[in-house]
């Protein structure tokens, strides 16, 4: 079991900010609330974010919501975005984007480390597009730097030219490297593009120094991002902890999600300083199935488990949720994205029955 990154004491009573967001978000949040009700006694404070907030307030994230999140024990988010707001941005590039709410929340709370565990359920090994013998035994963690890099650099347009600037400081790389080394069980793989990018050269130099000075007992390897992408599908069991910058982490963790059989299976935790963490599934808002009852809530349930472990310090409850999901899958639970016909309600009932 990996270390628990929580500054909080174990508790069954906590204030959780719930942010259903857009698309299937309200449906999987309702399922998460049912699951949490079976785990402990929590106080919920629900708010808008993303497109729903744009429609109601003209911005993807209000100061009121930020203040509530800062004062909470943990923040649970479902999904943001959709074609309605994409069309508005296409018509007016200055229009607010739903994703700005998520980026603003991460930045305001100082959530610089995104943890994305990838462990295919034994029951879903044949659901992956990769062969069983390639993925069996995979249990890796992607540690993605979350508040720097190209996503937060200067950007703009000048006529028919556009630019997005990527920048990293030594301090930003040091703190994410420490999270990776503390999370490792066997080794850390640092991913960069040091043969081309100056930011990657700084990244590699800094990770190497932090390793030598603070974690010499943890094996470290460096991989270029294109090689890492190839090895993720050719030998995923060879990884333990992958640490990388914002853009590379976004891409590689989505690639790694397919080892589980579906992007709908991957949870995430965003952590940082002494304040609350943010917990959310990696998948999007899936507006095409919103309201149909087909949404897969299992990544949301995985995010609940990460919240219990890393946000509220209750590792036993987290393990119980994860075990219940595994048992439900072993008993045959399959939502439409996994090739089955189970509805969101069916999946929720199956997991609760095994809790």
Radius of gyration of the chain from Cα atoms?
A: 20
d(Cα 17, Cα 47) in Å, to the nearest integer? 7
Hey, how many other C-beta atoms are within 10 angstroms of the C-beta on 332?
A: 10
Residues 112 and 134: beta-carbon distance below 8 Å? no
d(Cα 316, Cα 306) in Å, to the nearest integer? 11
Place of tokens 């987290």: 318
Q: List Cβ neighbours of 306 (8 Å cut-off, separation of 6 or more).
A: 115, 117, 267, 268, 269, 279, 318
Q: List Cβ neighbours of 186 (8 Å cut-off, separation of 6 or more).
A: 219, 240
Q: How would you classify the pairing of strands 113-118 and 41-46?
A: unpaired
Residues 233 and 131: beta-carbon distance below 8 Å? no
Q: Which of 190, 192, 191, 186 is nearest to 139 (CA)?
A: 186
Q: Which of 183, 45, 187 is nearest to 114 (CA)?
A: 183
Residues 260 and 118: beta-carbon distance below 8 Å? yes
d(Cα 36, Cα 147) in Å, to the nearest integer? 29
Give the torsion sign (CA, 251, 257, 259, 263).
negative
Catalytic residue annotation: 151, 193, 226, 250, 254
Residues 284 and 337: beta-carbon distance below 8 Å? no
End-to-end CA distance of the chain: 20
State both tokens at 285. Answer: 């808002």
């Amino acid at each position: 079991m990996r270390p628990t990154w929580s500054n909080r004491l174990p508790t069954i009573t906590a204030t959780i900010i719930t942010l259903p967001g857009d698309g299937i978000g309200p449906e999987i949040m309702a399922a998460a609330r049912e699951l949490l009700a079976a785990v402990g006694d929590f106080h919920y404070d629900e708010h808008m974010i993303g497109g729903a907030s744009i429609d109601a307030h003209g911005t993807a994230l209000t100061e009121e919501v930020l203040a509530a999140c800062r004062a909470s024990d943990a923040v649970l988010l479902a999904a943001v975005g959709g074609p309605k707001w994409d069309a508005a941005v296409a018509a007016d590039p200055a229009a607010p984007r739903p994703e700005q709410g998520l980026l603003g929340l991460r930045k305001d709370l100082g959530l610089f480390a995104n943890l994305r565990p990838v462990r295919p359920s034994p029951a879903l090994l044949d659901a992956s597009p990769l062969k069983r013998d390639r993925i069996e035994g995979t249990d890796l963690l992607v540690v993605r730097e979350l508040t720097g890099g190209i996503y937060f650099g200067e950007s703009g347009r000048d006529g028919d030219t556009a630019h997005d600037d990527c920048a990293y400081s030594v301090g930003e790389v040091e703190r994410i490297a420490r999270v990776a080394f503390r999370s490792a069980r066997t080794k850390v793989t640092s991913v960069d593009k040091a043969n081309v990018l100056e930011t990657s050269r700084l990244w590699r130099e800094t990770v190497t120094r932090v390793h030598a000075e603070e974690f010499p007992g943890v094996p470290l390897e460096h991989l270029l991002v294109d090689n890492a992408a190839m090895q993720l599908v050719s030998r995923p069991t060879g990884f333990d902890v992958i640490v990388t910058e914002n853009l590379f982490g976004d891409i590689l963790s989505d690639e790694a999600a397919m080892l589980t059989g579906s992007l709908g299976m991957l949870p995430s935790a965003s952590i940082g300083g002494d304040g609350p963490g943010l917990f959310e599934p990696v998948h999007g808002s899936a507006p095409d199935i919103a309201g149909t009852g087909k949404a897969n809530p299992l990544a949301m349930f995985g995010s609940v488990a990460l919240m219990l472990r890393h946000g509220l310090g209750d590792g036993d409850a987290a393990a119980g949720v994860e075990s219940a999901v595994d048992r439900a899958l072993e008993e045959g639970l399959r939502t439409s994205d996994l090739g089955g016909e189970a509805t969101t309600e069916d999946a929720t009932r199956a997991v609760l029955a095994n809790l």
